[in-house]
């Protein structure tokens, strides 16, 4: 059973989370009561929810590519360590307007299968690193540098205002 479950999870990665895949395969991959737990976006429910989640990423990253680095199966569960990459070229509500920047992340997901379909998933990936790579969240240290630069600019403006007021 473990090899069959691994094949389903491999197919999910190829069809659902790669730009060359076929989202219509979701009906064959996910169970009707599918639930995915992912801390940054909350729970995703049902086949349509899974398709919408994948669509958001595929729209934001039209060249989205995910690869399986490691896969282990035992009983009804499959654990995958994966690597994802893509260029932010599409506008979505989640990611906003395109930045044109490339991201590469890693993550781990645990899938539970029943009757040959994925029925539950727990996923963690480097969402902070992805947002920093896209320039949507400043990297550590960048915010302090921006604040210091802003203070210098503000002091410069205050000096100019004083000069105008005093005529010096």
Instruction: Tell whether the model's pLDDT for residue 87 goes beyond 80.
Output: yes
CB atoms within 10 A of CB 117: 19
Tens-digit pLDDT profile for residues 108-151? 999 999 999 999 999 999 999 999 999 999 988 766 655 666 66
Question: What are the tokens at 107?
Answer: 């993550």
**SS3 category, 71:** strand
Q: How far apart are CA 70 and CA 53, in angstroms?
A: 23
Q: Give the predicted TM-score (pTM) of the model.
A: 0.82
pLDDT of residue 139: 87
Rounded to whole angstroms, what are the CA distances from 114 to 6, 30, 121?
12, 9, 12
Q: How far apart are CA 156 and CA 129, in angstroms?
A: 34
Identify the residue with better confidence: 8 or 148: 8
pLDDT of residue 142: 63
pLDDT of residue 140: 83
């Amino acid at each position: 059973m473990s090899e069959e479950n691994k094949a389903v999870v491999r197919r999910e990665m190829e069809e659902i989370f790669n730009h060359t895949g076929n989202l219509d395969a979701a009906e064959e991959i996910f169970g009707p009561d599918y639930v995915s737990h992912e801390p940054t976006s909350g729970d995703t429910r049902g086949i349509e929810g899974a398709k919408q989640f994948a669509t958001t990423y595929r729209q934001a990253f039209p060249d989205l590519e995910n690869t399986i680095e490691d896969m282990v199966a035992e009983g009804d569960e499959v654990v995958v360590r994966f690597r994802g990459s893509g260029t932010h070229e599409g506008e979505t509500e989640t990611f906003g307007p395109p930045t044109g920047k490339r991201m590469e992340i890693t993550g781990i997901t645990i899938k539970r299968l029943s009757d040959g379909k994925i029925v539950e998933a727990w996923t963690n990936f480097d969402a902070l690193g992805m947002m920093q790579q896209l320039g949507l969240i400043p990297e550590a240290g960048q915010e302090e540098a921006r604040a210091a630069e802003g203070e210098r600019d503000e002091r410069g403006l205050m000096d100019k205002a004083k000069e105008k007021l005093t005529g010096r």
